[in-house]
Amino acid sequence: MINNHSFALLLIAVVANLWSGSSAAADDTDGNVPIAPLPAGRYACQVDTVAGKQGLALIQAHDKQEAARVAAGTSAVTVAGGSSPATAVLQCIDVSRESFTDRDFQKFYREMPM
């Protein structure tokens, strides 16, 4: 059971900790909070774009469904060589083991400098 004195001391310690700029979150020696690692999955998504051209969005995600959700709101490199926001996702592939079903788009993807 915490009495009023213990609670007051705990509150002072928390306030002092916050005031000093430190936090309960782990930080490294230079004071920066570490960033979580990126998801391991690498996906390439064929999308329709605002420009009216198909485009390619390269996405890191946990799974193909997440990749499709992310691709739907990202900018893609179009087959015409420009950049345009995606409006719809046509297909996402795991780059380590899949190919696009559209042969022309697969060729565009293969020839894309990375």
Q: What is the pLDDT of residue 19?
A: 37
Per-residue pLDDT tens digits for 52-110: 999 999 999 999 999 999 999 899 999 999 999 999 999 999 999 999 999 999 999 99
Q: What is the pLDDT of residue 30?
A: 65
Mean pLDDT of 35-41: 79
Identify whether the C-beta of residue 41 lies closer than 8 Å to the C-beta of residue 98.
no
C-alpha to C-alpha distance for 54 and 108, rounded to whole angstroms: 10
Question: Which residues contact residue 52 at a Cβ distance below 8 angstroms, ignoring those fewer than 6 apart?
Answer: none
